[in-house]
Structures are given as structure tokens and as C-alpha cells.
Amino acid sequence: MSSRPAASVQSRSPRGWRRSAARLPIIAFRAGLGGLFGGRLLLLHHTGRVTGRSHLTVLEVVEREPDGRGWTIASGFGPQADWYRNLRARPKTVIQVGARHHAVTARFPAAEEGADIMARYGRRHPRTARRLCAFMGLPANGSEAGFRQAGRAIPFVRLTSGVDPWDD
């Protein structure tokens, strides 16, 4: 595990009605409608590092492992996002993809692996990748080199299933 470069990730969490809108997918997952997202989103259950309270966050899946036992997500709000900090403190948790729950363990890729992840994501979703970079205040001109540079600053998390989240 290596630390990420101190890049300028400047995005802020949504407030007001935008926060309410951003939380609508949680309602869909809880209503059993997670399959509507086609595996593009997952519901992360995480525990507060200070309070110990249970929290839910819906995140975009950046990559899926071909065997269906791993997912990569990114913190669009940088390393200060509560869910990201909570996973750092307690990496064993549960996610929901579609209607299925998976016990997972979080791993935090090094900056160079983040560059590879973002380059692949940029090839698959160029417009969304450019928007993500702009949202985070990172330069990205749409080139592979630009996405690799941005990927070094984005905090990615790999979630791997097959581990009991309560087995210490």
C-alpha cells in the first residue's frame, strides 16, 4: 500500500436538494430495485470510524473483475469522503450489487495502479471520465496520458469478495 500524491482534489459533497437527489439510489436498492442499475452502481454498507454507526452510500463501479468477485470504486470527493475514511479504518464490509449481497474486503491501490485503472476507464467511458476529472479539479484533456495523470490522484478502492466481513 502506498500513499497517493498530494494532488488537488477539490470537489465537495453535495448539499441541500442535491444531497437528497444523490441519495435516491439508496432508496431504490433498499426497495429491491438494485438490478435497475445493471451492475454500474453498488450499495456500500460502511461503519463510522468514530461513531460506529452503520451508513449506506451508492457508488459507481469503475471496474468489475471478470470472475465477478471484485469491484473497483473511486472517491469522487477525494480521500476526505467519509465512506473512504471509514473503509480505511474498517476494510471488511458488505456491498450490494443488484439484489445480491457480498462480504468484501477493501484494498487501496497505489498511485500507479490508479493510473492504470483510470486509463482503462477513460477508454471505456471517455466523456464520463473527462467529467469526473473536471468535477474533481483534475486536468484531463481526454488523452490516455491525461487520464493516467488524473488516476494517480484519485483515491480508488478495490473490493474483493470471499472474506467474511466480521472475521478478524
CB 1 within 8 A of CB 110: yes
Structural domain includes residue 48: yes
Q: Is residue 167 part of a domain?
A: no
Q: How far apart are CA 130 and CA 123, in angstroms?
A: 11
The domain total for the chain is 1
Within-domain flag for 11: no
3-state helix, strand, coil in the chain (%, to 5): 35, 25, 40
Residue 3 placed within a domain: no
Please give the pLDDT value at position 168.
42
- Residue 119 inside a domain? The answer is yes
The reply to whether 10 falls in a domain is: no
Q: What is the pTM of this model?
A: 0.83
Q: Please check whether residue 9 lies inside any domain of the structure.
A: no
Strand pairing class (54-64; 70-74): antiparallel
Residue 8 lies inside a defined structural domain of this protein:
no
SS (H, E, C) 47-91: ECCCCCCEEEEEEEEEEECCCCCEEEEECCCCCCCHHHHHHHHCC
pLDDT the model gives residue 166: 43
| CATH number for position 107 | 2.30.110.10
Provide the residue range defining the domain that includes 84: 16-161
Residue pLDDT tens, the chain, 168 long: 444 444 444 456 666 777 677 778 999 999 999 999 989 999 999 999 999 999 999 999 999 998 889 999 999 888 999 999 999 999 999 999 999 999 999 999 999 999 999 999 999 999 999 988 888 888 878 899 999 999 999 999 999 997 444 444
Q: What pLDDT is attached to residue 14?
A: 64
pLDDT at 73: 98
- What sign does the CA torsion over 166, 55, 107, 102 have? positive
